[in-house]
Structure 1
Amino acid sequence: MNYRKLIKIATILTFVGFNISCSTKYGLVNRKDGSYNLNIINSTKDTEPIVIGVIYEYTTKEILPGAFVKADKSPRIMNDKAGKYVFNISPGKHSFEGFCVGYKSTYTKPILIKKGHTVKIDFYLKQYNTKLVESPIRK
């Protein structure tokens, strides 16, 4: 093997190793009332952290438009028609809640968020077993 090939292989391995170390994948965390998938991407830049993700129905894995995410006690953030949400957050330890009408809320464990982090949380919400009651008021 010549010297140039060795340098190319070493460069590729270094690049791959660096990219793998820049992301922490926690995977799917199952909770009683649903689950969430957590992935924290580290940046070398000193930027404010952001939280992104999608809210899905637990069983069908279909997107739930009109669902919400809440960080700690902050106002809720509504997802868009594609089920996606994105918002800035201050560094620190935060818990998140994914919820939607007719579905059980799913909570994360506290997550330590630092500057430069992009925190991806996909929520999977379970439907309530009880059916919504139709209003007795008629037109």
Structure 2
Amino acid sequence: RLSEGFTLRPYAALKLEYGRVSKIREKSGEIKLEVKQNQYFSVRPEIGAELGFKHYFGMKALRTTLGVAYENELGRVANGKNKARVVDTTADWFNIRGEKEDRKGNVKVDLNVGVDNTRVGVTANVGYDTKGENLRGGLGLRVIF
């Protein structure tokens, strides 16, 4: 808590993911392919901070939050060891080249603005990711029972 209305909240997170690519076997076409199933692990640590502001107008409150975070992929998701072969031939399995390994981290910036009273609240949020240059937004409704 920085003052009566401002708060600063640093945080760290670890996002873990296990994924699996299922077996694919084409049934039509000139060159039918069969792809073996494969699995991958994703490990993404994230570190960031949120600066929040809250101001009361009688029974209503205005809340704004500005968040900045950095995350980086540590797993080898892009370097898949997928194997494929041509169906109905004696051809051996060959390696499918994965995406180019991208070791650049991602910086995320988020802005949330909301108004609520003791029962109902509305929030609007917008965010930006440097990796992929993604812009995202949303609206939220908060109801307290």
User: Which TM-score applies when normalising by structure 2?
Assistant: 0.25
Q: Which has the higher helix share?
A: 1
Q: Which has the higher strand share?
A: 2
User: Which TM-score applies when normalising by structure 1?
Assistant: 0.25
Highest Rg: 1 or 2?
2
